[in-house]
């Protein structure tokens, strides 16, 4: 995901001296320190588009245009460099689509490009998403040799009937084999699972979960299937568990993961000690992220503004225009409005179970905490926000009804 702005050297160089904010011309508060920076890279192609997917993914027709894609990716990155010059990159996330369609040589070229152009920390978390249907043991080992140290596998289910209903190209056997391949290749592995699937029972949901926990990986992402607009499932909705059944699944997941020592640290994320996803935590703490590749979104902070940006979604158009190096590959580039910052910050921060320190609101938005004081008072009075004066944190009730809590900050 990405957000860029040109001529940002002043913001990058002047920001790392002292935390907090200072008052600029006309009394406007400005940032005097920049948050951590991550890099998101989008690989848009899939073997087959899943009927529930609303991501920017495109069914591959013919051979993967790997060379053209990497040439365009380099042009995209090089045009973005003035926006992040000198800043350290704490994490890289290669998502899609299906990044595991990339060849070993292609992934190696990509990561070498990042190290050459960016100040990537030696211990940066480098995650690559992979589809079990495209898993190859040798390729996973090569990815690790190139610098990938974390893999995220789109398992979704271990039930062959459910996988077929979801339009996945892998089966239970391939899912289990992919997990073992990933564990041999990298030290950290995440498994993506979905629940409330078409025709799924509570027992079937629990079998999926317990099998996933039994592999010994350090991270689980558990998502409720939703019928998103502009998907096949939205047009031809399958029969899915009702609200009571899906609530029972969520309750079972909460108890079963806690019993096995998993910490639910974010709405959909569960981790063993020391296994939280550093990249995603940076999103939720309102950190910065530069995104490159078709359809990538993101956010960058400067000394006097915070901007959001999006690349063109269509892969062919993005490749054609990125290589021109005239900025035409960027579909959107706008500063976040002053009145939007409070909601945007809380939209992310309140997804974390422990929330964030109140001071981080000032540091990351440049606003006084008084800017959202009325919303804090309303949410606290309703029992949705913890009254702790040092933190911004949902109560258990607020976390269970997060949309209601966030609505307090829309004004």
Q: Clarify whether residues 274 and 386 are in a common domain.
A: no
Q: Is 29 inside any structural domain? A: no
Q: Clarify whether residues 169 and 63 are in a common domain.
A: yes
Q: Clarify whether residues 361 and 277 are in a common domain.
A: no
Q: Clarify whether residues 108 and 255 are in a common domain.
A: yes
- Hunting for tokens 């390729």 — which residue is that? 139
Burial class (CB in 10 A: 0-12, 13-18, 19+), 207: middle
Structure confidence by residue, pLDDT tens digits, 354-411: 999 999 999 999 999 999 999 999 999 999 999 999 999 999 999 999 999 999 999 7
Q: Is 343 inside any structural domain? A: no
Whole-model pTM? 0.91
Q: Is 346 inside any structural domain? A: no
Say whether pLDDT at 183 is over 50.
yes
Say whether pLDDT at 20 is over 80.
no
pLDDT at 382: 97
**Domain harbouring 138, CATH code:** 3.20.20.70
Lowest mean pLDDT among 97-111, 190-204, 225-239: 225-239
Q: Clarify whether residues 275 and 400 are in a common domain.
A: no
- Into how many domains does the chain fold? 2
Q: Clarify whether residues 93 and 242 are in a common domain.
A: yes
Lowest mean pLDDT among 9-18, 85-94, 117-126: 9-18
Q: Which of 267, 282, 297 is the last residue of a domain?
A: 282
pLDDT at 32: 77
Q: Clarify whether residues 263 and 403 are in a common domain.
A: no
Structure confidence by residue, pLDDT tens digits, 69-100: 999 999 999 999 999 999 999 999 999 999 99
Structure confidence by residue, pLDDT tens digits, 27-83: 355 787 999 999 999 999 999 999 999 899 999 999 999 999 999 999 999 999 999
Copy the structure tokens of residue 348.
């992310």
Question: How far is it, in rounded angstroms, from Cα 374 to Cα 370?
Answer: 8
Q: Which of 260, 282, 304 is the last residue of a domain?
A: 282
Residue 145: CA count within 13 A, CB half-sphere: 11
Residue numbers of the domain that contains 192: 37-282
pLDDT tier, 13 (very low <50, low <70, confident <90, very high otherwise): very low
Q: Which of 221, 256, 282 is the last residue of a domain?
A: 282
Query: Percentage of the chain surpassing pLDDT 70?
Result: 93
> How many Cβ atoms sit within 10 Å of the Cβ of residue 65?
15
SS3 content of the chain, % helix, strand, coil (to 5): 40, 25, 35
Q: Clarify whether residues 152 and 277 are in a common domain.
A: yes
pLDDT at 189: 98
Provide the mean pLDDT of the chain: 91
Give counts: helices (H), strands (E), the chain.
16, 18
Question: How far is it, in rounded angstroms, from Cα 245 to Cα 195?
Answer: 11
Say whether pLDDT at 4 is over 50.
no
pLDDT at 28: 53
Q: Is 347 inside any structural domain? A: no
Residue 209: CA count within 13 A, CB half-sphere: 28
Residue 176: CA count within 13 A, CB half-sphere: 9
Structure confidence by residue, pLDDT tens digits, 133-145: 988 889 999 999 9
Q: Clarify whether residues 259 and 358 are in a common domain.
A: no
Q: Is 328 inside any structural domain? A: no
């Amino acid at each position: 995901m990405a957000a860029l702005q040109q001529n940002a050297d002043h913001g990058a160089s002047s920001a790392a001296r002292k935390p907090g904010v200072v008052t600029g011309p006309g009394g406007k508060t400005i940032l005097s320190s920049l948050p951590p920076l991550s890099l998101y890279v989008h690989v848009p192609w899939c073997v087959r588009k899943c009927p529930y997917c609303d991501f920017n993914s495109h069914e591959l027709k013919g051979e993967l245009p790997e060379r053209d894609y990497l040439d365009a990716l380099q042009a995209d990155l090089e045009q973005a460099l003035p926006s992040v010059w000198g800043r350290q990159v704490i994490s890289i996330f290669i998502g899609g689509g299906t990044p595991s369609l990339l060849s070993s040589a292609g992934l190696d070229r990509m990561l070498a490009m990042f190290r050459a152009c960016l100040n990537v920390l030696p211990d940066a978390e480098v995650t690559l998403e992979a589809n079990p249907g495209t898993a190859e043991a040798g390729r996973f080992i090569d990815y690790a040799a190139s610098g990938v140290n974390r893999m995220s596998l789109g398992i979704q289910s271990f039930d062959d009937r459910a996988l077929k209903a979801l339009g996945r190209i892998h089966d239970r056997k391939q899912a289990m084999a992919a997990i073992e391949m990933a564990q041999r290749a990298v030290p950290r592995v995440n498994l993506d699972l979905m629940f409330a699937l078409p025709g799924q029972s509570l027992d079937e949901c629990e079998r999926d979960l317990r099998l996933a926990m039994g592999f010994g990986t350090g991270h689980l992402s558990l998502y409720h299937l939703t019928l998103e607009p502009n998907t096949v499932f939205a047009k031809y909705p399958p029969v899915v568990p009702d609200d009571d059944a899906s609530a029972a699944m969520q309750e079972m997941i909460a108890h079963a993961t806690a019993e096995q020592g998993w910490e639910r640290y974010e709405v959909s994320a569960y981790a063993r000690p020391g296994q939280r996803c550093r990249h995603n935590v940076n999103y939720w703490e309102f950190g910065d992220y530069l995104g490159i590749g078709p359809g990538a979104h993101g956010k960058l902070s400067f000394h006097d503004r915070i901007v959001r940006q999006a690349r063109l979604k269509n892969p062919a158009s993005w490749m054609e225009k990125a290589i021109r190096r005239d900025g035409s590959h960027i579909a959107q580039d706008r500063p976040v409005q002053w009145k939007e910052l409070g909601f945007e910050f809380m939209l992310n921060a309140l997804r974390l179970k422990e929330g964030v320190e109140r001071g981080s609101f000032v540091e990351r938005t440049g606003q006084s905490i008084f800017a959202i004081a009325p919303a804090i008072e309303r949410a606290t009075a309703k029992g949705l926000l913890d009254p702790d004066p040092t933190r911004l944190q949902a109560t258990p009730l607020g976390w269970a009804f997060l949309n209601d809590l966030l609505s307090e900050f829309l004004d």
